[in-house]
Structure 1
Amino acid sequence: MRILIVDDEALIRDHLGGLLEWEAVHCTVVGKASNGLEALEMIQKTGPTLVITDIRMPAMNGLELAEHLRADHPHIHVMFISAYHDFEYAKQAMKLGVCDFITKPIRIPELLESVELLQQGVLRMNEDDRLEQEKLMALLLACEGEPDEAAVLIRRRQVEDRQIQVALVEIDNAELLYLSDRPLSLMVLREIVDHRLKDQPRLYWTYLDRNGIIAVFFEPDGSEFGTGSEPLAIAGGLVTDVKEITGHSVSVGISRRLPSVLAIREGLWQSRQCLEYRMLLGKGSIISFDALAQLEQGRVSREEKAIVELIGHVRLADQAQIAASLRGIYREMLASGMNKNVIQQYAAEILSRTDALFEELHFPVDQERRIQAQKSLFGYSILADLLQFLSDYLGKAAESIAARSHPEQPTVVKRVFDYLDKHCTEEISLLSLSRHLHINHSYLSRLIKKETGVNFRDLLWKYRIDKAKELMRRGEGKTFEIAYEVGFKDPSHFSQVFKRTVGVSPSGYRDSLTPEQQQVNSSTDR
């Protein structure tokens, strides 16, 4: 492996560049640079396969360098060197596909171990496949991704119609790892995760997260998940493996079953919610999102439930219900005899959840306004005044959501069907539809579910099957011609979906129609 060292500190550059151990792990240092710009100039001449770079540097920092490499030299691996106070900053590196980061002071055995793991092919897949998976995961997890590009990659990997579960394997007390004699490398953790997953039958992806590893489990092709216990069993073995191999503990949060890989951000959110209970359950916890309801019965307070209900009304931009919820909170505060500090913390949590909602919906959050609001609420000493402040704040938030999300629900659903009428034969996804309607895709999904009772994928299948039945009643075309006309690319897939939806095969449905029924239906359709 050819290595380029990038660090603005000459002592570190020279120390790493002159290590005698490189030869033992079959590596050669082909160059040393003092910043990102200098590194980019050297890459064409030296042809490195791995760049080991500091984050904070003049002229061009490590993150900027990684962005350039990802765009122009995606085959080059990047490893970060980070001081502990750069830890938050270094989390951004995970989105850029950085393979690992090593904390300062640098422990040479840890560095060499990460490089060796990289050489061995941690993911046990070919380079092109690994790069494409990393790119797709980054697109799906990014707050502002490229929906069209992601859709192409999803179709290429043939996972668009498969359910998923998302597990988050997170190092316990990760923020304190710098105090450990032997910090747990994310590369090592990923290797352990992959080793544990490789023998289970499901397709899976893994991805570096800020404190651990994201694992995505796909349903077996053509079938549903079984009992749902498989990820729990895998997680149990994984927690044991990590403890035995590294001496560190990890906890695992597991999402519900989700309709497709497009819901991966929702799955990650659910997994992180699970890990919020680690403080109660302790290290090495395994928590599923389905089990949270049972945990909440004994642990979630009335105040927490009220906040969840309140934010739900803000999400739907329901001003009347927001006001009603705030009145209920006001009465609860008076009845409970809360002191000023508790009330202020309660109000601060409401603001925090509102900002989190904006981030989830991909709405811009004005940081200055956020800070000012937090300061303002701690200035109120009268409960009625504080509740009026919250009412104004949440009212404006609901107005913003209504303006950006087009909350006229029946009109939106009608526009969905109008779009399907005109584009039935084309490739249609929830993302492409939301872009056409200029509506947040998560919000659109909820509207469709609320108005029709089914999710978008089932709605699309039902629409196409109803269209096919209409054509059959009119006696128009052969089965394979009708399949193509209503948007199916594969006649056999059309037959499977038709039978699952209608209860009989297309030919069976056609044979069941009497001439009189065909005439009646045809005249009705016209």
Structure 2
Amino acid sequence: MRILIVDDETLIRQHLSSLEEWESLQCAIVGEAANGREALELIPLVKPQLVITDIRMPEMDGIELAGMIRRIYPHIHVMFISAYDDFEYAKQAMKLGVCDFITKPIQVSEMIDSVELLQQGILRMNEDERLEREKAISLLLSEDTGIMEAQNLLVAHHVQDRSIQVILVEIDNADLMHLSERPLSFIVLRELVDHRLQDQPQMYWTYLDRSGIYIVLFAADDMPLAGGVQSMQIANQLLDEIGKLSGYSLSIGISRPLPSAAELREGFRQSKQCMEYRMLLGKGSIISYEALIGLEKGRMDKEDKAMTELLMHIRRGDGSQIPAALRVIYREMLAAGLDKKVIQHYALEVLTRADQMLEELHIPIPPESSIDAKQKIFSYSILSDLLEFLSGYLSQAAYLIAQQSDTGTPSIIRRIHLFLEQHYKEDVTLASLSAKLHMNHSYLSRLIKKQTGVHFRDLLWKHRIDKAKELMRQQELKTFEIAYELGFKDPSHFSQVFKRMVGVSPSDYRASLPPT
């Protein structure tokens, strides 16, 4: 809690400011003032949540200060301290909504207890108010809520005459998070957002939705929002500070300033629509609906030149040209200002065309691989990530076509044998081999088994055992030296594999060799 101390006696201000108990209550003394006038000048600068003030002071006393705070800053709490235990003062304090009245000489324990009770009350009140606001937002967003019911809700929350602006904070690539992680991540994000915004003077509501955190900014009574300047400042602060604290990459959409809280639904729609353009602009973006209005939304023809060239490279089996072709498409999408749905359907069309080419050429592609790829397209929220995924998938399709034109599947198996002959010492895995060949992991495994009759691991061991036989014929190396030379970390494991594949132990095999 941020506290401002106001007293015309310097020693009292210093004493209250230096209390060690503040730290345990997570309180910070953000300023000191000698009278009410100084306090009013400080409040917008230090943004206190509690003002502890003396009553009798020169220039502006505590009674007048409390009245001004109640009118200008109704969210700030006031606590009176006074050397005069006067019933009249106590009555005025009650009228002004002062949270406590403590007489001098000040008992530290009494003040600390009072502040602690205030904190607990604020927490309960904040939670109750938040639940009420979320309920109100849900009703205002519902199409079943009538005009009169909506107006009554706005009046009940004293926001009927206030202009608004809506900010949406989303975690980038939240769709790729595990389902169990999302709710907790959004709750943590909301707590961080609330904590960051609690010191800013502008009234706001927050609303947790499955897509992210909505922030509704309210202008002061009868005052329009300042052209979105404040919302952009808040967005920049949230992106920088909350992103660092949470460890998440965030993007933010900002609606236009709207003349009335009755247009809440439109504000939510605009801020959400901004997120459709995150795919173009990338992670960590701040996207203003105002800026999108002048953007001419194009639509890329499925038969446009860029797609035609991309498909031509795939059909020719020229995977090396695919990244460059996708970069051209990326630039055209940026220029056209396409939204997320158009981009996703464009990507789906390209992928479907590539699969059709493979079918026409009778090249097998695992059905689950194609289905997974098509589903994955709709999980990407950033264009560069989507195109990187497409590049890998389409390059694999081009590679399969190229291999068929070069005597087809047998050529792939020859390349695998050649690779293993050259790299048998290394820790080669099916995953590293499939990456090297730009092929699907599961598809490559089935292809090897179908064409060679053995699994990949046995194929690798066969190459190692063949090399072991060659080394044994030279009669130069011991068995354990051969094992290490072949990439086995354990000589006994080498002996077991050798006996399983050859039928005899390495020593028996060496003994059976004719003398050189």
TM range (shorter): 0.3 to 0.5
TM-score of the two chains, using structure 2 as the length reference: 0.34
Structure ID, larger Rg: 2
